Structure 1
Amino acid sequence: MREPACIFLHRSLPRALLLHQLQNFPSRHPDPARGMNCMVLGASFYRMGMLFLYQGLLVQGADFNQPADNYTVCQGDNATLSCYIDQQVMRVAWLNRSNILYAGNDKWSIDSRVQLLTNSPSEFSIMITNVDVYDEGLYTCSFQTQDKPHTSQVYLIVHVPARIVNISSAVTVNEGNNVNLLCLAVGKPEPTVTWRQLKDGFTSEGEYLEITEINRQQAGEYECITANGVSTPDSKHVLITVNYPPTITDVKDSRPLIGKTALLRCEAMAVPPAEFQWFKDDKQLIGGSDGMQIQNERTRSMLLFTNVTARHYGNYTCVAANILGSFNVSLRLIRPGSLDNMAAASVESPLFLGLLSSAFVTLLFKI
Structure 2
Amino acid sequence: MDKKMLCVAVKLVLTGYFGMCVGQSILPPGPLSGAVADSVKFSTNVQPPATPFISVSWSFKGVNIITSTSASNTTRPEYTNRISLERATGGLELRNLVQEDGGEYTVTIVPAEGPQKQGETTLNVYTKITAATIRSPAAVLIEDESSTNLTCEGSGSISSRVWMKDEQPLSPSSRLSFSADNRTVFIQPVDSSSHGPYQCRVSNPVSSMTVVHNLTVNFGPHNISIVGPSAAPPGQRVTLQCTADSVPPANFSWLFNGNETRVDDSMFIIERLNAENTGNYTCSARNMVTRRENSTVLNLRGKELEIMILYIIKSSDG
Q: TM-score, normalised by structure 1?
A: 0.49
Aligned residues: 258
Instruction: State which of 99, 102, 114 in structure 2 corresponds to 1:133.
Output: 99
8 Å Cα contact 2:66-2:73 kept in structure 1: no
**Kindly tell me: are residues 199 and 304 of structure 1, through their superposed partners in 2, closer, same or farther at Cα, counting changes over 3 Å?**
farther
Q: Name the residue aligned to 1:113.
A: 82
Read off the aligned partner of 1:129 and give its amino acid letter: R
Q: Is the alpha carbon distance of 1:139 and 1:284 closer, same or farther for their aligned partners in structure 2, counting shifts above 3 Å? A: same
- After superposition, the CA RMSD in angstroms is 5.3
Equivalent residue, structure 2, for 1:271: 247
Structure 2: 5+ residue stretches without partners: 1-17, 110-115, 173-177, 311-318
Q: 2:217 aligns with which of 226, 229, 242?
A: 242
Of 212, 230, 250 in structure 1, the residue corresponding to residue 188 of structure 2 is 212
Pair 1:221–1:70, CA change in 2 (3 A): same
Distance 1:308 1:111, change over 3 A: farther
Distance 1:92 1:279 in 2: 92
Give 1:39-188 correspondences, 5 Å limit.
59-60=25-26, 72-76=31-35, 77-80=39-42, 96=60, 104-105=72-73, 108-109=77-78, 112-118=81-87, 126-129=92-95, 131-137=97-103, 154=120, 156-158=122-124, 160=126, 166-169=132-135, 173-176=141-144, 177-184=146-153
* Alpha carbons of structure 1 residues 116 and 247: separation in structure 2 relative to 1, 3 Å: closer
Partners of 1:318 and 1:231 lie apart in 2 by 57
Q: CA deviation at 1:79?
A: 2.4
> Could you tell me how far apart the structure 2 residues matched to 1:332 and 1:157 are?
74
Over 3 Å counting, the alpha-carbon distance change for 1:329 and 1:156 in structure 2 is closer
1:225–1:164 distance in 2 versus 1, CA, 3 Å: farther
Counterparts of 1:102 and 1:183, CA distance in 2: 46
Separation in 2, partners of 1:285, 1:140? 83
SS of the residue 1:109 aligns to: helix
> Does structure 1 residue 203 correspond to structure 2 residue 178?
no
Describe the SS at the equivalent of 1:210: strand
Q: Tell me, yes or no, if the aligned pair for 1:245 and 1:271 is still in contact at 8 Å.
A: yes
Structure of higher RCO (CA pairs closer than 8 Å, 6+ residues apart): 2
> Hey, what's the Cα distance between the residues in 2 that align with 1:269 and 1:88?
76
Letter matched to residue 259 of structure 1: G
The structure where helix makes up a greater share of residues is 2
**What is the CA distance between 1:261 and its match in structure 2?**
2.4
Secondary structure of 1:308's aligned partner:
coil
User: How many angstroms apart in 2 are the aligned matches of 1:215 and 1:164?
Assistant: 33
SS for the counterpart of 1:242 is coil
Indicate the structure (1 or 2) with the bigger Cα radius of gyration: 1
**Which structure 1 residue ranges, 5 or more long, are not aligned?**
1-46, 52-57, 62-68, 144-149, 287-293, 343-367
Contact 2:132 2:152 in 1 (8 A): yes
> CA, structure 1 residues 284+305, in 2 after alignment: closer, same or farther (shift >3 Å)?
closer
In the other structure, the counterpart of 1:327 is 294
Instruction: Compute the displacement of 1:130 (Å).
Output: 5.3
Determine helix, strand or coil for the equivalent of 1:112: coil
Matched, 1:191 2:191: no
Out of 307, 310, 327, the residue aligned to residue 272 of structure 2 is 307
Q: Taking structure 1 as reference, are residues 203 and 162 closer, same or farther at Cα in structure 2, changes over 3 Å only?
A: farther
Deviation at 1:268, TM superposition (A): 1.7
